[in-house]
A and B are shown apart, each in its own frame.
Chain A
Amino acid sequence: MGKVVEKLVYERPKSLTDAHTHYCPGCTHGVSHRLVAEALDELGIRERTIGIAPVGCSVLAYYYFNVDFAEAAHGRAPAMATGMKRANPDRVIFTYQGDGDLAAIGTGEIVHAAGRGENITVIFINNAIYGMTGGQMAPTTLEGQKTTSSPMGRDISIAGHPLKMSELLSTLDGAAYVVRHSLHDVKHIRRARKAILTAFKVQLAGLGFSMVELLSTCCTNWKMDPVESLDWLRDNMVPFYPLGEHKVIDAVKDL
């Protein structure tokens, strides 16, 4: 018998706690949490980071991140992050917000935070639905998509068009890094991971506002199983919400 060599290939990032999450089976929040935590670990900034949780499914994110955390009022996380960062420029501040939080009730706060070039990082989870309240239409719900408040499918003549937040924010001079990625397969998750790392580097370099939009699933409220959800995301959301770098200022390319 030869000597057994143990090699650790996978473990929980230091920036996550060992708590069991309340997320539904198949939900991509777990992946997003892990990607953020890996970035904080890799950059060695966990100890000086403060996160801000939204109102929505990830309202309890503060139990899962092993990071100092505050809970914001619905949509106000970018304002809260602004207050924290202005009073503590040497801390790393990030918000974690869903589409109802960021693109509906908090539209004013996110636009002005980006416009000011607020030196914060925003993780934007876009799953095209209100998860926590049970599946209502979101500002990002696709045309024709059925929800509990658009039972015949989103009718553009009634509800108007979905908002493309990355495109919208990329028009603002204060935005340094605004990108959209998807979590529907491993290849895309790896790209998302790299983008989140870059977003925090942007903040560390003091370059201004950074946001990573992550196209995500909601099996429960989409009423699909996890695999169907990932396929639906790929086939319906990705064509409407183009992936890629919507705004990358030159200084970011030098990082």
Chain B
Amino acid sequence: MAKQLWKGNEALAEAAVRAGLVAYFGYPITPQTELLEYLSGRMVRLGRAFLQAESELAAINMVYGAACTGVRTMTSSSSPGISLMQEGLSYMAASEVPVVLVDIMRGGPGLGNIQPSQADYFQVTKTSGHGDFRPLVLAPATVQEAVDLVYEAFDLAEQYRTIVIVVADGNIGQMMEPAEMPPMREINGDRPHWALVGADGRDHRIITSLELGAERLEALNLRLQRKIARVKREQVRWKEDKTDDAEILVVAFGTMGRISTTAAEMAWEKGIRAGVFRPISLFPFPAARLEELSQRVKRILVVEMNAGQMLEDVKLAVGKDYPVEFYGRMGGIVPLPDDVLEAVERVHTEL
């Protein structure tokens, strides 16, 4: 299929449809709303389930209900809405039902604003709800990558029976870019062995997040931890640019990864050898490769649209004695390549 011009939010929606999405539940919130709007027509015309819920809380629990029956289901929201969905995420993590969530981040805290931001890093990778669980978190830098990741997200969610969060900022949701859509998949009518479909000719099945016995709840937690360990082994993803003979390594995800790549090109023109390391899986964080690269470069510069959230994972990866610099903007301000270049130059003068 040829490339077409797609708006990020609509491209994400169409990719989910093509991945075999059976049921979508959501609530309007800028800058994510076009995703919901697109599906409100597309899903209904295809005879699939679409419902605008009364709140994000209801939306995530509708998704939970559909997920219990083993169909492909998802919701999407933006930062304050994701805060409301944390209850459902925690229950789904404990119940081990597969689900896909798209977060188009905006400025916070509180109502914040509707400009792009990356300040949900903690929320999606570390604090998605109460209890010990970690969703698989994927961060695209282009509309094409967003399409490819959400298309794959449903397979990953089912493979690990986990929550997969595709996290992008308002830039990716709102901008238009050429992207190629993946082929339309048939909806798989087979339901997994654990799904609730009615106890016909078999014992009744139960999906619950309640384990009253301490030992049984610990056993559930140990199983979840084994799964997380498996995800950490198998799903680490990143992209490198000009890292071979770089002296400064810029570490940035999503939109900032992309802007940093432009800044790095500008730096090379000025004789500064800057490479870019862009984590695609925010959880699992590509720590091992980053640690390896840190041995080759002299300095690491982390660039984010927040106060330094991924920065903590970078520092954990390279150790407390390694010189890690940070450049970040908040409030919905998107740094330009010139701004990042300036930060790179500042680090360079200190070498």
Binding site for B on A (CB under 8 A): 17, 46-50, 52-53, 59-60, 62-63, 65-73, 76, 79-88, 91, 108-109, 112
CB within 8 Å for A76 and B61 given contacts A47-B198, A108-B55: yes
Query: Which one of B206-214, B226-234, B298-306 is at the interface?
Result: B206-214
**Which of B64, B73, B198, B210 is close to A59, meaning CB atoms less than 8 Å apart?**
B210
> Which residues of the partner chain A approach B58 to less than 8 Å between Cβ atoms?
76, 79, 82, 108-109, 112
CB distance from A82 to the nearest CB of B (A): 5
Q: Are A80 and B62 in contact (CB under 8 A)?
A: yes
Please measure, in the bound complex, the distance between the C-alpha atom of A63 and the C-alpha atom of B204, giving whole angstroms: 9
- Asked if residues A68 and B205 are in contact (CB atoms below 8 Å), the reply is yes
Cα distance, A47 to B197, chains bound together (Å): 8
Complex: A60 Cα to B210 Cα, angstroms: 9
Q: Would A68 and B65 count as touching, CB distance under 8 A?
A: no
Assuming A48-B200, A83-B23, A87-B73, is B64 touching A108 (CB within 8 A)? no
Q: List 28 A-B contacts (CB under 8 A).
A: A46-B198, A50-B198, A52-B65, A53-B208, A59-B210, A62-B208, A63-B206, A66-B204, A68-B205, A69-B208, A70-B207, A70-B208, A72-B61, A72-B64, A73-B88, A76-B57, A76-B61, A79-B58, A79-B65, A80-B61, A82-B62, A82-B65, A83-B64, A84-B69, A86-B49, A86-B66, A87-B65, A109-B58
Distance to closest chain A CB from B50 (angstroms):
8
Q: How far is the CB of A28 from chain B (nearest CB, A)?
A: 22
**Quick check: B199 and A47 within 8 Å, CB to CB?**
yes
- Do A69 and B49 touch (CB < 8 A)? no
Within 8 A of A (CB), among B177-213: 196-201, 204-210
Query: In the complex, what distance in Å separates the CA atom of A143 from the CA atom of B290?
Result: 64
Kindly list the 10 A-B residue pairs having the minimum CB-CB distance in the complex, ordered from nearest.
A83-B65, A83-B62, A80-B65, A71-B208, A79-B61, A47-B200, A83-B66, A76-B61, A48-B198, A87-B66
A88-B197 CB under 8 A given contacts A70-B68, A108-B54:
yes
Chain A residue nearest to B50 in the complex (CB) = A86
Q: Do the beta carbons of B207 and A86 come within 8 Å of each other?
A: no
Known: A50-B69, A86-B23. A73 touches B199 (CB 8 A): no
Contact of B206 with A112 in the complex, beta carbons under 8 Å = no
Tell me if B263 counts as interface (CB < 8 A to partner A). Answer: no
For the complex with contacts A62-B206, A69-B205, A86-B66, 18 further pairs of A-B residues with Cβ separation under 8 Å are A17-B204, A47-B200, A48-B198, A68-B205, A69-B204, A70-B206, A71-B210, A72-B61, A73-B87, A83-B23, A83-B64, A85-B65, A87-B49, A87-B69, A91-B198, A112-B53, A112-B54, A112-B58
- Look across to chain B and name the residue whose beta carbon is closest to the beta carbon of A60: B210
Q: Which chain A residues lie closer than 8 Å to B65 at the CB level?
A: 52, 70, 79-85, 87
